[in-house]
Amino acid sequence: MVGLGLGVIFTSTGVLNFAQGDFVMVGTLLGVALWFRMDWPFLLALLAVIGAGAVLGAATEIVAVRRPLRRHQSSIAWVISTLAVSLLIEAGARYYLRPGSFPAYIPWGPFTIGSQLLVPQRLFMLPIAVAMTAVVAVWMARSRWGRALRAIAFDREGAAMRGIPVGLVSVVAFALGGAIAGAGGMLAGPVTQASYSLGIPSTLQGFVAATIGGITHPWGPLVGGLVLGVALQFTTAYWDASYANVVELVVLLVVLVVRPVGVLGQRFRSV
């Protein structure tokens, strides 16, 4: 889901948002605060977290992406600015939000099939990820705003000449990416737990997953996440968990050598 948000933003703006994982972190910390500590209904807390993620995403585009790109026209500008946003979000979370245990919202406990232990809370994440990806894919393909995002990705200057409000559409892309990250943070809270340290690691793993699957394809991050997750689980179960980062990089390099645009990636023409 982190990769899905990264893909939506990158496909439409060409920017890799290094604060994406911090949106997840805020979603987890805010979600457990509203739902568990303040006793909000779960769905209401989830809607609030989605809204907070969307606001953070839109603010990131306006403050940290639009101005640097307009002034410098250099990729290093938004790398530095989004990293700065990541640090600011983490500092704000440490000041206003409190980490802690995130209780499971799925009432069923673990069960076994043969020799395999299955945890419903973890299994629930797969259909959620598939559903979110499907909604984004349909929205991108059929809605007016989704088509505008695809037009900007294909030819930003040409889209502007045809009357598409490029700046507003970019804000929508970042807001959507933030909303996805916030929802993912709360829904995955019982698995990740509520911690300040979720930000950068989540961004890196989401980037790797999206790159493996193809960051320019709506289903690419999901495919990449499944490939990466299976590889890491096999490493932990049958080899040594300390080599997980090495295996992650090896899988990424192999995919990039065989297919540089990722498993489902698409090439866009340069304009």
pLDDT surpassing 60 at residue 74:
no
Task: Give me 230's structure tokens.
Answer: 């299976």
The pLDDT tens digits of the residues spanning 107-143 come to: 887 888 887 788 888 889 899 999 999 999 998 888 8
Widest CA span in the chain? 61
Indicate the domain borders of the chain.
2-105+121-197
The pLDDT tens digits of the residues spanning 175-200 come to: 999 999 999 999 999 998 899 989 88
pTM beyond 0.75, yes or no: yes
- Please tell me the distance from the alpha carbon of residue 217 to that of residue 226, in angstroms, as a whole number: 15
The pLDDT tens digits of the residues spanning 200-251 come to: 889 998 999 999 998 888 899 999 999 998 998 889 888 888 888 888 889 8
- pLDDT band, residue 271 (cuts 50/70/90): very low
Q: What is the DSSP string of the chain?
A: -HHHHHHHHHHHHS---TTHHHHHHHHHHHHHIIIIIS---HHHHHHHHHHHHHHHHHHHIIIIIIHHHHHH--HHHHHHHHHHHHHHHHHHHHHH---B----SS----EEETTEEE-HHHHTHHHHHHHHHHHHHHHHHHSHHHHHHHHHHH-HHHHHHTT--HHHHHHHHHHHHHHHHHHHHHHTHHHH-B-GGGHHHHHHHHHHHHHHH-TTSTTHHHHHHHHHHHHHHHHHHHS-GGGHHHHHHHHHHHHHHH-TT-SS-------
Residue 130, pLDDT score: 94
The pLDDT tens digits of the residues spanning 75-113 come to: 677 788 899 999 999 999 999 999 988 998 888 878 888
